[in-house]
Amino acid sequence: MGTMQTSIVFLCGTLFLYLFFIFIKFLHKVWWTPIQIQQAMRLQGIKHPFYRFLYGSTKEILNMRKESNGKPMELSHYIFPKIQPHCTLGSTSVSSLVSEAEFVKDIMNNKDKSYPKNEPDGFIKKLWLLRSADDIESKKLKQGICKSIIRTIVKREKAMNVKVDSFGNDFLGLLVKVNYDADEGKRITVDDVVDECKTFYTAGHETTISLLTWTVLLLGIHTDWQEKARQEMNMIINESLRLYPPVVLLPRIVKHEAKLGKFSVPANTTLVIPTLSIHHDTQIRGEDAQQFKPKRYSEGVAKATNNNLAVFLPFGLGPRSCVGLKFGLNEAKIALIMMLQRYAFTLSPAYIHSPIVMLTSRPQHGVQNPLADKWDENKDGYVA
Ligand code: HEM
C-alpha cells in the first residue's frame, strides 16, 4: 500500500472513530441517562410520564402550555395552574419538582457543590440536522447582539488610546478594564465580556420590568394601596414578588448521586424548585395565600415567613442567588415612586388577565392602566 493510501485509510479510520464517539455520547445523553434516572426514581415511587426518545416529555409540556396560553383566566392571583400547567405532571424524565422547604434550603445552599446551576449544553444543538428555523434565527440575533457589544467595546478601546485608563466607570468600563488586566490570571476574554453584558442585561432588565408590570396591575386593582404605597413601598413590592415572581422556576442539576430525605436522587437529574407554586401554597401561607395582602410583610420578610427564607424565593437563595437584588429593587422603587408622585391609575376594563412565561412571567396582552388624576404635591391631593 502506498503512502497516499495509508494516509487515506488512517484519515477515514480517525473520522469513523470520531463520529462513532459522538454518536455514543449522544445516545448516552438523550437515551441512557434519562432512562436510568426514570428507572431509579420509579423504584422510589416517583412516577414520570412516559419518556420518548429525544423528546422526553417536551411534547406534552409544550401542548399543555400552548393550550393554556391561548385562554385568558378570571381576574384571580392564583396563576400557578395557568402559567405552569405542566407542573401538574409532577416530574419529567430527568427533572423532579422539589417544594419541601428543608430540601429547597439544602439544594439552594449547595454547600458541598452537589447542586450547581445547570449551564446550557450546546452539544445537541451543534448537530446541524436538528436545527429549526427558530434556532437559525436565534443564532443570527446572537451574532447581531455580539457585534453590537463588540462595537461599543472597540469605541472604549479607542478612547483608551487617547487617554490611558479611560474605559469608563460603568459596568462595561469595568469589564473592559479586566479584559486588559496586567495580571494574565485575572484577565477575561472579549467573549467573557460579551457574555457578562448579555447576562446582566437579560437578568436585570426583563425581571425588573416584570416586577413593575405586575405591581402596576395590583395597584390598578387595589387603588387604596396607591396612597399607602407612597409611605410603604416594601410591603407592596414583596407581595407583588410573592404573587407574581418574575422568575417562576429555579433549576439545579444533581452533580453526584444525592440524598434528599428518604430519596436517593441519581446524578444528572434536574431538580426544579417551583417558586411560584411555593409562593401560592395555602399550607405555607394560610387560606389567604392567593390574595393581595401586603400587610403580611408589615414586619419584614423574615417575620412573614417565620424565618424560613426557603418559602420566599423571588431572587433565589444561597450563594448563586440574584446579584442584582438591591439594584433591581431600588430601580423598581424609583420607577414606582415617580409614577405614584405624578399619577393615580386604575385597571382598564379592557385588560385581559392571561399571565404567561416568556423567560420571565408577564401579562400576555400587557397591562392597560388609564392614568386618572394627577397628584398635586402643593395641594396634597389629586387634581382633575
Ligand atoms: C426584580 C428584579 C429581579 C429579580 C426578581 C431577579 C431574580 C433573579 C433570580 C430568581 C435569579 C436566579 C437565582 C438562582 O438561580 O438561585 C437571578 C440571578 C441573577 N440576577 Fe437577578 N433578578 C432581578 C434583578 C436583577 C438585576 C437588576 C440584575 C443586574 C443588574 C440581576 C442580575 C442577575 C445575575 C447576574 C444573576 C445570575 C447569578 C448567578 O448565576 O450567580 N438581576 N435573578
pLDDT higher for 222 or 184? 222
Q: Which of 207, 208, 214 to mutate to test the pocket of ligand 1 (most atoms within 8 A of CB)?
A: 207
Say if 33 falls within a structural domain. Answer: yes
Average pLDDT on 65-79 reads: 88
* Per-residue pLDDT at 168: 77
pLDDT tens digit sequence for 334-361? 999 999 888 888 899 999 999 999 989 9
Binned at pLDDT 50, 70 and 90, residue 369 comes out as confident
Q: What is the mean pLDDT of residues 376-382?
A: 52
**Residue 12 placed within a domain:** no
Chain centre distance of CA 50:
27
| Portion of the chain with pLDDT greater than 90, in percent | 34
Range in 27-31, 47-51, 131-135 with the lowest mean pLDDT: 47-51
Distance of CA 322 to the CA centre of its chain: 10
Angle at alpha carbon of residue 95, lines to 356 and 278, rounded to 5°: 55
Q: Is 93 left (phi over 0), alpha (psi -120 to 50) or beta?
A: alpha
Q: Roughly how many angstroms between the first and final C-alpha of the chain, as a whole number?
A: 96
Query: How far is residue 279's CA from residue 288's CA, in Å, rounded to a whole number?
Result: 12
Strand partners, 266: none
Q: Is residue 139 part of a domain?
A: yes
Cα(275)–Cα(245) distance, rounded to whole angstroms? 8
Question: Exposed, middle or buried by CB within 10 Å (0-12, 13-18, 19+), for 89?
Answer: middle
Residues whose CB is less than 8 angstroms from the CB of residue 282 and which lie 6 or more positions away in sequence, other chains included: 289, 290
Residue 370 domain-assigned (yes or no): yes
Tell me the pLDDT band of 383, cut-offs 50, 70 and 90: very low
Cα dihedral across residues 340, 346, 347, 350: positive or negative: negative
**Rounded Cα gap, residues 61 and 334, in angstroms:** 38
Q: Whose CA is nearest to atom 11 of ligand 1?
A: 322
Residues 129-143, mean pLDDT to the nearest whole number: 79
**Angle, helix 325-342 to helix 224-231, in steps of 10 degrees:** 120
Q: Is residue 101 part of a domain?
A: yes
Index of the ligand 1 atom closest to the CA of residue 332: 1
- Residue 382 confidence class, pLDDT cut points 50, 70, 90: very low
DSSP one-letter string for 253-302: E--S-EEETTEEE-TTPEEEE-HHHHHT-HHHH-TTTTS--GGGGTT-HH
- Atom of ligand 1 minimally distant from the CA of 275: 10
**Residue 381: strand pairing partners:** 376
pLDDT-derived band at 384 (thresholds 50, 70, 90) equals very low
Q: Report the SS3 class of residue 376.
A: strand
Please give the pLDDT value at position 5: 84
Number of domains forming the structure of the chain: 1
Q: Is residue 316 included in any domain, yes or no?
A: yes
Q: What is the CATH number of the domain that holds 226?
A: 1.10.630.10
Neighbours of 296 (CB within 10 A): 20
Q: Which amino acid would we find at residue 255? A: K
The label of the residue with cell 400552548 reads 66
- Within a domain: 91: yes
Contact 289, 300 (CB under 8 A): no
pLDDT of amino acid 50: 61
Which residue puts its alpha carbon closest to atom 40 of ligand 1?
A: 320
Going by CA atoms, what residue is nearest to atom 3 of ligand 1?
207
Q: DSSP assignment of 187-244, as one string?
A: ---HHHHHHHHHHHHIIIIIHHHHHHHHHHHHHHHSTHHHHHHHH-HHHHHHHHHHHS
Residue 183 has a pLDDT of: 85
| Cα 241 to middle of ligand 1, angstroms | 13
Collapsed DSSP state (helix, strand, coil) of residue 125: coil
Residue minimizing CA distance to atom 41 of ligand 1: 320
The model's pLDDT over 285-322, given as tens digits with 9 standing for 90+, comes to 899 999 999 999 999 999 999 999 899 999 999 988 99
Choice among 228-232, 322-326, 347-351 with the minimum mean pLDDT: 228-232
Q: Percent of the chain, pLDDT > 70?
A: 88
CA distance 31 to 80: 31
Q: Which residue has the cell 376594563?
A: 349
Confidence of residue 102 (pLDDT cuts 50, 70, 90): confident
pLDDT beyond 50 at 147: yes
Contact 282, 289 (CB under 8 A): yes
Would you say 197 is a known binding-site residue? no
For the ranges 270-274, 311-315, 370-374, the lowest mean pLDDT is seen at: 370-374
Higher pLDDT, 216 or 142: 216
Q: Does a structural domain hold residue 286? A: yes
Range of the domain at 371: 20-383
Q: Give the residues surrounding ligand 1 with Cβ less than 6 Å away.
A: 117, 199-200, 203-204, 207-208, 211, 246-247, 250, 314-316, 320-324, 327-328, 332
pLDDT at 52: 74
